[in-house]
Structure 1
């Protein structure tokens, strides 16, 4: 008998499955299904045992795998890290280079002819200094401006590393100034010499009646630069032909009239971007009120869009004279002190303004203003008392800003004997010791804002300086004594500085700095930029 066959006794003991058949009254079986053949074979005890063993083994295997996964989360596995080979390379410091704006410019010649041609007005005086002592001077080789009584091209300053200490960064700074009194152009303008860049925001100027604003684009590099201009005004973006793809040749300057792109606007902001060779960009504005000259100014780039903006020094020279000018002159809409702001994004916001007087006995002036995005807003500040102010602007959205004030002098006969104006740009933060040069001319004041919550200690160290003809100022070079000051949290230091001198500002924390110059009814200002980056160590991976 095979393993799959049952004995008669085993078969009899099996339960009977119901078949669905029924019995009739005679006890005969009815409805019984016909017998069918089947291939199903009953499962033996040995097969059932084998299946059970496999099931138990599978359950155990799953349990072991789960235990291994859980155990791996608690057992620290061996690991290894590989550090790629590298080498720290310290480049040799390269020559530093700055570009000075050059002489003041005007449209038309002395007779008023050639109204679309740019001519120079006199000659700027440039002061500069380098930590290596030697400064190379050169002129831009090509300019749109035609020479008048002097050279037209901007000045380029270069300082090579010190041969005795080639591992030290070169410090180079410069500033220029110019007084002019030619026809409708009467005033004083000073400006810092700046490093090139690819992105600049110019806040200032106007092209309304009697207001002329020129855009200067200077490329001191050996590569042509392609410049695009975005112009915004009190109505929004200005659509004008010719604002894109402006080619500035290598070692060249382009001078463009803003009125050629946007005539009759009172509140322009110009965003300048360049590709290829990098450039410096400035605005030059002049004002004529009726038949009276209203001043000139060179406006450098302001701080790029930021949520916290500082204008370290805004000067009101004589409120009484300004009120007299408003009562006698025509077209006095820009005589009142004003702050110009622009939100380049898409979200409007509320700006918070704080004007802190230099006179500590006077309380700060605080106010807020709702400002729309995409349009330029001039915020006039009526009856601003005579004195100097630091301006802080806080915003939830990035903003660019600058401020404008007018100066005037009352003559002995009661009339206005002189008038000028200045634009005060927002200063970038200085985080390291910085060398700067004070322009010659009017009395100068250094403005240093401490934006932090703790005191800042600053020192002014005098250094030798050089004028444009190459002669040295030995008196300044001999004076190396440090003047130390402590600036309280949130306060501003205002200290007179000698005209034409180069100084190094040593400070213990972040500050914002500008130079303002005023006297005899004339006024100008410029901000101090961070030191031009030197050669930083580089990690090289093969």
Structure 2
């Protein structure tokens, strides 16, 4: 074999080998490759028990009573507070109020140290009332723990309203808060609502009109950094120089596809010749445009008194829905949609006499035993409603006979309770939603039952 022949032979052999190797690579690529799947390592842990904290709204506040200082905020009526803890009395302390022009009647906060490695549950609630020419009515609220995000559904910044957003920090670390206000034109981030510093153990008061003047149906999203805060709203109304009521409105349940307002108290018959406030429901889709349904049921017998479907909600734009023609009584309002929403309902007493109103907000699901404080006030009741069948038990913390309530899915029941008393509520296996309501001559008030501070959730940690 000469050199030329040998070279040709080697080239041919190389081409064949390359083809074989290339074909093998193609076949290997097309064939299924072996895989190795490994579940991530995880560990379920319960956070170390921390101090339980609850903050209260404090006294009723008046805006602009001093003619020489239209923006001055002063205390108008002190609040009465009831509190209790699982083990002994909680520690109480007062909070600073840098936005107020006076130094009287500071808001209160309560704390309780963990017991046996478990957070100590505590319950507290407050009430205040007055009957002045510029401000009258009853305001009740639960003293609740702070949160990093809250939604305030209620109030107004229109003419005649003098509402205040209250930001309360009962902790030992300063918080920075942003307020986003939703209205007819969508979301706005007002300058007055940006980077609000709430010092440790203090309460800030921000006029709602300074955030979005003229807005009739606002919804306020409260976002905190650095430390959680308790967000609430004091709403006050004046009609042609006559005080039309006052209320302290806590945060609504976080956005969800279902919002349940356990009890809305209608006190004036639809055929009354007197001026009646009626009921309205404020809704807002928080994430996307959606269609909502609102069902109003009688707490007494479960009958449907109003059903409105296919309500078009534009994301970030609150809608006020009028519900008319209801007899005197208590009603459970349920709002549902395919996308998350928030909800609250408004009602008032007879407006032809000294009047008052109340905002009832969506209540969270309570799925663990919790303390429920009943503030001092007229005609207190506790209304419970169930998403699924359950049996709830209510027991006074100071001792006394327990009350058991059997609830079918979607059913509501009202229980008489004693003013100024703290109860332990065991929601049973199905969980419940609840609200405490008050009603008297020219007085209305309500607040939702919130979950236990002792129900520390289990966390899944991935290393």
Query: TM over 0.5: same fold?
Result: yes
Match of 2:369 in 1: 433
1:353 to 277, 282, 294: 294
SS at match of 1:419: coil
Q: How does 1:272-421 map to 2 (within 5 A)?
A: 272-319=222-269, 323-325=273-275, 335-345=277-287, 347-360=288-301, 362-368=303-309, 369-408=311-350, 416-421=352-357
Match of 1:154 in 2: 107
Deviation beyond 4 Å, 4+ runs, structure 1: 50-73, 79-84, 86-92, 320-323, 533-542
Match of 2:136 in 1: 186
Shift of 1:141: 2.8
Aligned counterparts of 1:269 and 1:91: Cα–Cα separation in 2: 33
Aligned counterparts of 1:216 and 1:392: Cα–Cα separation in 2: 27
TM-superposition CA deviations, 1:151-191 (whole Å, max 9, x none)? 342111001123xxx13331111110111112211100100
Contact 2:387 2:431 in 1 (8 A): yes
Match of 2:415 in 1: 495
Contact 1:339 1:402 in 2 (8 A): yes
Matched, 1:478 2:399: yes
Between 373-382 and 96-105, report the one with greater CA deviation: 373-382
Match of 2:390 in 1: 456
* Structure 2: gaps (5+ residues): none
Q: TM-score, normalised by structure 2?
A: 0.88
> Compared with structure 1, are the counterparts of its residues 387 and 61 closer, same or farther at alpha carbon in structure 2 (3 Å cutoff)?
same
Q: CA RMSD in A?
A: 3.4
Aligned counterparts of 2:435 and 2:336: Cα–Cα separation in 1: 19
Shift of 1:220: 1.8
Match of 2:440 in 1: 519
Q: Indicate the structure (1 or 2) with the bigger Cα radius of gyration.
A: 1
SS at match of 1:294: strand
Aligned counterparts of 1:288 and 1:322: Cα–Cα separation in 2: 22
Q: How does 1:212-291 map to 2 (within 5 A)?
A: 212-238=162-188, 240-291=190-241
TM-superposition CA deviations, 1:60-107 (whole Å, max 9, x none)? 99999999999999xx99x999997x9987665322100001000011
> Compared with structure 1, are the counterparts of its residues 491 and 262 closer, same or farther at alpha carbon in structure 2 (3 Å cutoff)?
same
Shift of 1:260: 1.8
> Compared with structure 1, are the counterparts of its residues 299 and 89 closer, same or farther at alpha carbon in structure 2 (3 Å cutoff)?
closer
Shift of 1:363: 3.6
Contact 2:56 2:109 in 1 (8 A): yes
> Compared with structure 1, are the counterparts of its residues 231 and 63 closer, same or farther at alpha carbon in structure 2 (3 Å cutoff)?
closer
Aligned counterparts of 1:242 and 1:357: Cα–Cα separation in 2: 42
Aligned counterparts of 2:118 and 2:183: Cα–Cα separation in 1: 45
Q: TM-score, normalised by structure 1?
A: 0.76
Matched, 1:446 2:382: yes
Shift of 1:537: 6.5
Aligned counterparts of 2:30 and 2:314: Cα–Cα separation in 1: 59
Aligned counterparts of 2:245 and 2:43: Cα–Cα separation in 1: 57
Aligned counterparts of 2:162 and 2:326: Cα–Cα separation in 1: 26
Matched, 1:132 2:87: yes
Contact 2:270 2:325 in 1 (8 A): no
Matched, 1:101 2:53: no
Shift of 1:51: 13
TM-superposition CA deviations, 1:172-217 (whole Å, max 9, x none)? 1111011111221110010000111111111111122221111111
